[in-house]
Amino acid sequence: MAQFPAPTEGIAITHFIVSRDVERSRRFYTEVLGGEAVLEGELSIVALANGWVTISVAGGPTDDKPTVTFVPPSDPDHASSFLNIRIADIGAVYEQWRLHVGRSQHPSTARSVLVRT
């Protein structure tokens, strides 16, 4: 079984998808595209090729992003997804990127196995 995408060094890219039917979407990525389920449920993670697909139901807002709500596409001609970048040492990379950009909209926030920036 594939392991959760938490790198010990460097970064790993995870594509996040909001879905009305997480199980159906997970089955597409595992049965059609040949990925391997790492986590199944309202939040599903699929190892696919050399990357990861995270699939979740609609939700939000959260305390660190109080004006953001995740919704599935309202029609097939509109996309609703974002890209996660998993980083082994988030603190170091956060500082490096903050210095490079000059500011950060949101400080890093730890959430169980996730750190959100």
β-pair type (109-111, 114-116): antiparallel
Q: What digits encode the pLDDT tens for the residues 49-74?
A: 888 899 999 998 888 889 999 888 88
Single pTM value for the model: 0.65
Domain regions of the chain by residue span: 11-88
C-alpha span between 39 and 37 (Å, rounded): 6
C-alpha span between 93 and 111 (Å, rounded): 18
Q: What digits encode the pLDDT tens for the residues 29-43?
A: 898 888 899 999 999
The class that CATH gives domain 11-88 is alpha beta
